[in-house]
Amino acid sequence: MARLVSGEDHHHHLELDKLHSTCKEWGVFQLVNHGVKSSVVEKLKNELEEFYNLPMEERMKYKIKAGEHEGYGNIGKEDGKRDWADRFYFITNPIHRRNPHLLPELPSSLRNILESYFMELQKIAMKLLSFIAKALEIDVNEMIELSENGMQSVRMTYYPPCPNLELAMGFAPHSDATLITILNQVNGVDGLHVNKDGVWLPLIFQPNALVVNIGDILEIFSNGVYHSIEHKATANMVKERITVAFFVNPKFEAEVGPSPSLVNPKNPPLFKRVGMEQYGRDYFVRRPHGKTYLQHMRIEDGQDNLNKTSYIEN
């Protein structure tokens, strides 16, 4: 990150080229020298450990309510395997879309450090998206218009030690429905795997690095130049694992679709256009696996996106 923000020098251009090729070939990278103070991450780790050590009845005050997607809980089973993770998901931005029963009701020490952390990651996300626009050779203002004060959310996940890895899946394979996702492995226990050319590879986190992955919306926006990465998480037999994933999306009132700057008669759109609000609702109703939702957005599938999602309104 330090090289990207260094200005128009040799290091900046080399790093921008590296960012571009990594987004094309991998769809995931580790970001170092990002500027988030280690003291903030350490405080976040301590507060999350305290939260997950609370009695279950305390944590269940935030449980996912029927028909909702935000809140605390375990998703259940995936393909016969137990999904071995307690998750806490909620919208953080825009402020007026926050659920009043979740973040505002958390213990004040946890809430305060989360607010500080979200502010840091908002800054990093906007800088990164601006550099990504530059790498794609489109007007940076187009990316800012799409994503500034956009829909942001967080998923805090606790993976307890798992006595039998054969019977449990930490987190089933999927790509994120985002522009980008910024993952912090707060207690330093690895477990993330990425799918590169059909092969699952473990990702070993560098100390203090944030892992950034390209989501489906950025693949759509780049008209297929960049690729969202399919990933999964595995549990650990002896250690607990705590992660915080920060999801960065367009504004609710924006359209999800290929950038007009990247579409022309020689490069036709590969994906449909749909409002961000509709896109998000459809994603949660479908609960897709792998990259199936991105396939649903492809024009080649010959089906009308809106026809397939109209039932959500009912």
| 275 in a structural domain | yes
Quote the CA–CA distance of 186 and 176 in Å, as a whole number.
20
Q: Which letter does DSSP use for residue 105 in this model?
A: G
| 309 in a structural domain | no
Cα 90–96–98 angle (5° rounding)? Answer: 15
| 310 in a structural domain | no
- Whichever domain contains 32, its CATH number is 2.60.120.330
> Which two tokens mark 38?
């280690």
Query: In whole angstroms, what separates CA 129 from the centre of its chain?
Result: 14
Report the Cα–Cα distance between both ends of the chain, in Å, rounded: 45
The total number of structural domains that make up the chain: 1
Q: Which domain holds residue 286?
A: 25-56+81-297
| 66 in a structural domain | no
Which residues are CB-contacts of 262 (< 8 A; sequence separation ≥ 6)? 136, 138, 222, 223, 225
Beta bridge partners of 211: 30, 183
pTM exceeds cut of 0.85: yes
Query: In whole angstroms, what separates CA 275 from the centre of its chain?
Result: 19
| 17 in a structural domain | no
Q: What is the pLDDT along the chain (314 residues), one digit of tens a residue?
A: 999 998 878 889 999 999 999 999 999 999 999 999 989 999 999 999 999 999 999 999 999 988 888 999 875 554 555 567 889 999 999 999 999 999 999 999 999 999 999 999 999 999 999 999 999 999 999 999 999 999 999 999 998 887 776 666 667 788 999 999 999 999 888 889 999 999 999 999 998 899 999 999 999 999 999 999 999 988 777 888 899 999 999 999 999 999 999 999 999 999 999 999 999 888 877 766 778 888 889 986 434 433 333 323 32
| 306 in a structural domain | no
| Identity at 41, one-letter amino acid code | V
| 131 in a structural domain | yes
| 94 in a structural domain | yes
